[in-house]
Amino acid sequence: MNAIKTVGVLGGMGPDATVDFMAKVIAATPAERDQDHIPMLIDHDPRVPSRQDTTPAEDVTIREMLAAMAVRLEAAGADFLVMVCNTAHGWLDLALERTTVPFVDIVEVTADALTARHPAVRTVGIMATPACLEAGLYQRVLESRGLASLPAEGRARRDLMRLIDRVKAGDQGEDVAAGMAVIAQGLVAQGADAVIAGCTEIPLVLAAEQLPVPLISSTDELARRTVALALGEATLQSRRHLAER
Amino acid sequence: MNAIKTVGVLGGMGPDATVDFMAKVIAATPAERDQDHIPMLIDHDPRVPSRQDTTPAEDVTIREMLAAMAVRLEAAGADFLVMVCNTAHGWLDLALERTTVPFVDIVEVTADALTARHPAVRTVGIMATPACLEAGLYQRVLESRGLASLPAEGRARRDLMRLIDRVKAGDQGEDVAAGMAVIAQGLVAQGADAVIAGCTEIPLVLAAEQLPVPLISSTDELARRTVALALGEATLQSRRHLAER
């Protein structure tokens, strides 16, 4: 039997999403006692500047902070790295330059789950932050798989960001969930036959049951892949697709 | 305004208890956005051997693993350390020798909360693991404050450990909670006018509402103190009492 791998987690963006990810890793691990569980090193740093409407100076700070976290996690013994924030995946260049262990891309992992479990889907609604949508993180990956993207636009995009900010402020109330469901249903009305929750705050309030089409949660898929990788049931991939961004 | 301090967390003992602690820190932090939250470095290592019925070799491994975690957290920038496991506080000597930042003692913090909020209490029921009770971690601290201890004994002690192990295996069902409530009520029947949940798995299932006397949760009190210390609203204490164990 191979030893369980140690996961390095770039977290705190936001805090509740990181805890949600950890809880999902633990729940997805077959374990009878503490010692069966997956070791995780978590750098939970909510001080990383907001990834929305960044200035060039903030861009540098985000890139440097993420790189410092990754370097520290690798030095502390992480066998691979994950980051519990979709949007921040657009600022990973320095982190990738300065570390050598595999970095699991939440966007690829989420797209993998979508295509594996729902092969008939053709048009994918994307719920994510404005910065994530403007960077095209999901659109590019979906296009490379021959899928059409339907990102939240205009007022829906702005409303979604306000709801995400309410979750970040600790509000997981029913009206936040209802507001997100309205946005998801709007994407379905426009033709989406699946919706990606491409921001780790969304699955804290929006449930698959609220939609008539499959909802793919980036947090859940990252947790599932993390468990498979740590237990040696999946193979770590090259970091090429991340480095090419 | 002082900068928020960074908390180093020795975790994974067990996994769900660590997540519970983090969620309680986040919920207790006054925050409107990610950047208001407390940075945490978490070494979530469930591979630390069980603290029950240890061999001398296991004792060495536990002491060395906890020391390695503490050293790594201090080196990574933790301003103070906490550990989300009551029992393991009996194996901290090497960790204290090899680090210099304050180490917040969950046992002292829990006793502080008890005496501050319930000054009339005289006899304290203690729910904890056999190893924690045999080491007298709570009994000594309570005695130094003039309080009588009523630890779970005999069959109740063994039953409690079985229930804690079920929580560690992921079972937070109603019968686990009911079993713990029976043990707590037994301590009350014997004369306890407050009960300490002195194992971080207990608050995952046992709620204060299930008891006719105050229930003091070690996880909740450690989270509360962590927030106060990180925000500069409480003063870090000497590590003398821990080093004297």
Q: What is the pLDDT of residue B206?
A: 96
Across residues A114-129, what is the average pLDDT? 97
Residue among A101, A85, A103 at smallest CA distance from A49: A85
Q: Does the pLDDT at position A129 exceed 90? A: yes
Mean pLDDT (whole number) for A220-244: 83
Parallel, antiparallel, or unpaired: how do β-strands A40-44 and A123-127 relate? unpaired
Q: Which of B119, B88, B123, B122 is nearest to B103 (CA)?
A: B88
Partners of residue B42 in chain A, C-beta under 8 Å: 40-42, 44
- Residue A234's pLDDT band, with cuts at 50, 70 and 90, is confident
What share of chain A in percent tops pLDDT 70?
96
Q: Which residues of A touch B168 (CB under 8 A)?
A: 33-34
Question: What is d(CA A40, CA A54) in angstroms, rounded to the nearest whole number?
Answer: 30
In this predicted structure, what is the pLDDT of residue B236?
77
Q: Report whether B150 contacts B124 (CB < 8 A).
A: yes
pLDDT of residue B235: 83
Residue A245 confidence (pLDDT) above 60:
no
Least Cα separation, residue A97 to chain B (angstroms): 20
- Judged by a CB distance cut-off of 8 A, whether residue A87 touches chain B is no
**Which tokens belong to B106?**
């969950």
Least Cα separation, residue A2 to chain B (angstroms): 14
Q: What pLDDT is stored for residue B36 in this prediction?
A: 94
Average pLDDT, chain A: 94
Give the per-residue pLDDT at B238.
59
Q: Does A231 touch chain B (CB under 8 A)?
A: no
A34/B12 touch (CB, cutoff 8 Å), yes or no: yes
Sign of CA dihedral A108, A110, A114, A116: positive
Predicted TM-score of the model (pTM): 0.95
Strand-pair partners of B126: B151, B196
- Chain B residues within an 8 Å CB radius of A76: 43, 72, 76
> Does the beta carbon of A93 lie under 8 angstroms from any beta carbon of chain B?
no
pLDDT at B244: 55
Confidence of residue A236 (pLDDT cuts 50, 70, 90): confident
List B residues 156-175 in contact with A (Cβ-Cβ < 8 A).
165, 168-170
**Res. A194: pLDDT tops 70:** yes
* Interface contact flag, B169 A40, Cβ < 8 Å: no
| Rounded-to-integer distance, Cα B149 and Cα B154, Å | 15
Residue range A57-116, pLDDT digits in tens: 999 999 999 999 999 999 999 999 999 999 999 999 999 999 999 999 999 999 999 999
For chain B, the residue count is 245
Least confident range from A5-19, A36-50, A203-217, B228-242: namely: B228-242
Note the pLDDT of residue A235.
Answer: 83
Given A22, A46, A168, which is nearest B19 (Cβ)? A22
Distance CA A69, CA A9 (A): 9
- Asked if A36 has any chain B CB less than 8 Å from its own CB, the reply is yes
In chain A, whose CA is at the least distance from the CA of B4? A47
pLDDT band at A2 (very low <50, low <70, confident <90, very high): low
Helix (H, G, I), strand (E, B) or coil at A170: coil
Mean pLDDT of A30-35: 93
E strand residue ranges, A164-217: 194-197, 215-217
Rounded to an integer, what distance in angstroms lies between the CA atom of residue B209 and that of residue B118?
Answer: 16
List the pLDDT tens digit at each of the 245 positions of chain B. 468 999 999 999 999 999 999 999 999 999 999 999 999 999 999 999 999 999 999 999 999 999 999 999 999 999 999 999 999 999 999 999 999 999 999 999 999 999 999 999 999 999 999 999 999 999 999 999 999 999 999 999 999 999 999 999 999 999 999 999 999 999 999 999 999 999 999 999 999 999 999 999 999 999 999 999 999 998 877 565 565 55
Which chain B residues are within 8 Å of A169, Cβ to Cβ? 31-33
Query: By the 8 A CB rule, do B184 and B195 touch?
Result: yes
Which of A12, A16, A32 is opposite residue B169, by nearest beta carbon?
Answer: A32
Q: Is A23 at the interface with chain B, CB within 8 A?
A: yes
